[in-house]
Copies of this chain bind each other. A is one copy, B any other.
Amino acid sequence: MACQGGSEITRLRINAMLSRIDHVGIAVRDLDEAIRIYERRLGLRSTGRERLEREGIEIAMIPIGESRIELIMPITPDSRVEKFLQDRGEAVHHVAYATDDVRASLEKAGAAGAQLLDEVARPGAHGTRIGFVHPKSVCGVLTEFVEADGHPGA
């Protein structure tokens, strides 16, 4: 199954700049165990965890350079991450890019034929604004745009 729709891409130019990998989200069964794995086998350090009740997940953040590894454990049976784990097992769940304008990044992707999971930016953790693009539109990879709190475009 190849990426879909690239040949239908329009030439519309929308200003939106992805500057870095913000984080790589990894779906895990046991968050304590996953933190131990990343700390002891890779020598990284978890700096905090957070329960996102609305999403049915608990996450741990592991900084690495200008990016983070985000370990994600489902805490409710109807969490999307629970379904992901049942379908795929533990694996990379999504890749998130920092953008200076999540609205413009969504518009650019949509104008180029991508299926958006968020038509408009929505609030993320810690005052960020976020938006997701469907994996089938980005070579099988669920793709997130993240705009930091306090940016002039926020």
Q: Does A33 lie within 8 Å of B65, measured CB to CB?
A: no
Scan A83-120; emit 1 where CB is below 8 A from any B CB, else 0: 00000111110010110000001001100111000000
Does residue A154 face the partner (Cβ distance < 8 Å to B)?
no
Copies of this chain present in the complex amount to 2
Stretch at the interface among A34-42, A47-55, A74-82: A34-42
Q: Does A3 lie within 8 Å of B28, measured CB to CB?
A: yes
Q: Does B24 lie within 8 Å of A3, measured CB to CB?
A: no
Q: Does A138 lie within 8 Å of B42, measured CB to CB?
A: yes
The contact sample of 24 A-B pairs, CB cut-off 8 A, is: A1-B89, A2-B90, A6-B34, A6-B36, A6-B37, A16-B43, A17-B43, A19-B65, A21-B21, A21-B65, A24-B92, A24-B95, A26-B139, A26-B141, A38-B138, A40-B112, A40-B113, A41-B108, A41-B114, A42-B138, A43-B105, A64-B97, A66-B66, A89-B140
A residues whose Cβ falls under 8 Å from a Cβ of B:
1-3, 6-7, 9, 16-21, 24, 26-30, 33-34, 36-38, 40-44, 64-67, 71, 88-92, 95, 97-98, 105, 108-109, 112-114, 133, 137-141, 143
